[in-house]
Copies of this chain bind each other. A is one copy, B any other.
Amino acid sequence: MSDQTKTVMPRFAPVILAGGSGTRFWPRSRRARAKQVLALDGDQTMIQQTLTRLLPLADAKDVWVVTNSLLDKTISGQMPSVDPLHILSEPAARNTAPACALAAFLLETREPNTVIGIFPSDHVVKDMPRFAEVLRVGIDIAAGGEAIVVLGVPPTRPETGYGYVEQGALVAEAASADGTSPVKVFRVKRFREKPDRHTAENFLAAGNFAWNGGIFLWSARTLANAIREHAPDMAPMLEKIAVAHGTADFEKVFAEEYPKCENISIDYAVLERRSIKGEQKSEIYCLPADFGWNDLGSWASLHEHLGEAEADNVIDGATTGLVTIQSTGNYVYAPGKMVALLGVDDLVVVETDDALLITTRDRSQDVSKIVRAIYEGGREELM
């Protein structure tokens, strides 16, 4: 996009949440090599892809990252254009509310109308132009004052692993670049926690429910005020940390105050409380995230993302060749190897220098059980 387009946009500060431990992609992911710093679907790592799709919307100097001490150096190395002072390493893991709130207090003191965007660091997007188009509409809405914008992923299955956004009335349609796919803006009626299977099926059938993909937009002032209103206990600590940022005391204050914050998600701390409060006259809007979103929650998700059809064999990791005989739907990661499949279907086989995982696409969501067993077996070098 042109510089001109950028100049007419509100100031936009993406906050990338990169503290996840990523056990689901074991054995490729480890504690110090979590999913967000892995190149799971191409040359760029997940967090590099996250930055790449934000740079048409924001200046690199306005990007913030909240991560942990196991990953901060790797992330700095992967994001040389991001100010090292903007890469914040949590002294203790505290879920998303304190991380979002810290960003809000930091930016509120500088320029309260800055639009903050919260972005998970480990998701993928197939249609980057559409991503930018939807985000621009959302940023404009959030820049208007009190509004909170959430992106809702069009659901394709009765997934029980995500929270849902219940959409209310359609309040606007922003024209799209191609003229045929306007960006729709819905009021949010309610946020719904991860449902059981039956409820998820009802959501899907109802047609006005979207997955909560964890992408939110709001002005620094709106978010800071929302924290003060809905999570007042953590506000004083985070304000202290924000004041200390850039000073010699920062590390000390951060280490002392941050662990005192409640370990709670931004969804639960702010959005659900606010949506219940303002059910009929919500200031929360939902924009469909119709840009090929995938959170790569498991090896099966990666297979789905990389393959064109479910029956495709996805052979990954710079293998040196492939022979398949009567085999379909497998995902294999085996760098430097000739891979031979004979009479096998729907398997997941992942090989690293020190480990070999063999499972099925259906069971790959349970890989964390393997990691737990490794922990219990005292093999921390493999975690």
Write the residues of chain A forming the contact surface with B, with a CB cutoff of 8 angstroms. 26-27, 320-321, 323, 325-327, 330, 332, 334, 336-344, 347, 349, 351, 354-360, 362-364, 366-367, 369-370, 373-374, 377, 379, 382
Contact status B369-A338, CB under 8 Å? no
Query: How distant is the Cα of A261 from the Cα of B369 in the complex, in angstroms?
Result: 61
Chain B residues lying within 8 Å of A326, measured Cβ to Cβ, are 363
Of the residues B323, B327, B362, contact of A343 by C-beta under 8 Å: B362
A380–chain B nearest beta-carbon distance, Å: 12
Chain B residues lying within 8 Å of A338, measured Cβ to Cβ, are 27, 354-356, 374, 379, 382
Q: Known interface pairs A349-B349, A351-B351. Does A341 touch B323 (Cβ–Cβ under 8 Å)? A: no
Contact status A344-B358, CB under 8 Å? yes
The 10 nearest A-B residue pairs measured at CB:
A343-B363, A342-B359, A338-B355, A323-B373, A337-B356, A340-B370, A334-B356, A340-B357, A339-B356, A342-B363
A324–chain B nearest beta-carbon distance, Å: 9
Chain B residues lying within 8 Å of A382, measured Cβ to Cβ, are 321, 338
Chain B residues lying within 8 Å of A367, measured Cβ to Cβ, are 342
Contact status B349-A358, CB under 8 Å? yes
Contact status A342-B358, CB under 8 Å? yes
Chain B residues lying within 8 Å of A357, measured Cβ to Cβ, are 340, 342
A157–chain B nearest beta-carbon distance, Å: 20
Chain B residues lying within 8 Å of A343, measured Cβ to Cβ, are 359-360, 362-363, 366
Contact status A356-B363, CB under 8 Å? no
Contact status B325-A337, CB under 8 Å? no
Copies in the complex: 2
A350–chain B nearest beta-carbon distance, Å: 9
What is the chain B residue whose CB lies nearest that of A348?
Answer: B342
A331–chain B nearest beta-carbon distance, Å: 11
Interface of A is mostly: mixed
Contact status B359-A341, CB under 8 Å? yes
Q: Known interface pairs A332-B356, A349-B358, A356-B332. Does A374 touch B323 (Cβ–Cβ under 8 Å)? A: yes
What is the chain B residue whose CB lies nearest that of A355?
Answer: B338
Contact status A336-B354, CB under 8 Å? yes
Contact status B342-A344, CB under 8 Å? no
Chain B residues lying within 8 Å of A325, measured Cβ to Cβ, are 366, 369-370, 373
4 further interface pairs, Cβ-Cβ under 8 Å (given A334-B356, A340-B370, A349-B356): A323-B373, A334-B351, A340-B358, A344-B363
Contact status B358-A341, CB under 8 Å? yes
Chain B residues lying within 8 Å of A363, measured Cβ to Cβ, are 326, 342-344
Query: How distant is the Cα of A292 from the Cα of B374 in the complex, in angstroms?
Result: 37
Contact status B356-A340, CB under 8 Å? yes
What is the chain B residue whose CB lies nearest that of A319?
Answer: B356
Chain B residues lying within 8 Å of A336, measured Cβ to Cβ, are 354
A238–chain B nearest beta-carbon distance, Å: 40
Chain B residues lying within 8 Å of A359, measured Cβ to Cβ, are 340-344
Query: How distant is the Cα of A255 from the Cα of B341 in the complex, in angstroms?
Result: 40
Query: How distant is the Cα of A341 from the Cα of B364 in the complex, in angstroms?
Result: 11
Contact status A321-B358, CB under 8 Å? no
A231–chain B nearest beta-carbon distance, Å: 38
Query: How distant is the Cα of A337 from the Cα of B356 in the complex, in angstroms?
Result: 6
Query: How distant is the Cα of A327 from the Cα of B370 in the complex, in angstroms?
Result: 12
What is the chain B residue whose CB lies nearest that of A369?
Answer: B325
A315–chain B nearest beta-carbon distance, Å: 10
A47–chain B nearest beta-carbon distance, Å: 26
Chain B residues lying within 8 Å of A334, measured Cβ to Cβ, are 351, 356
Q: Known interface pairs A325-B373, A356-B334. Does A366 touch B344 (Cβ–Cβ under 8 Å)? A: no
Query: How distant is the Cα of A347 from the Cα of B330 in the complex, in angstroms?
Result: 13
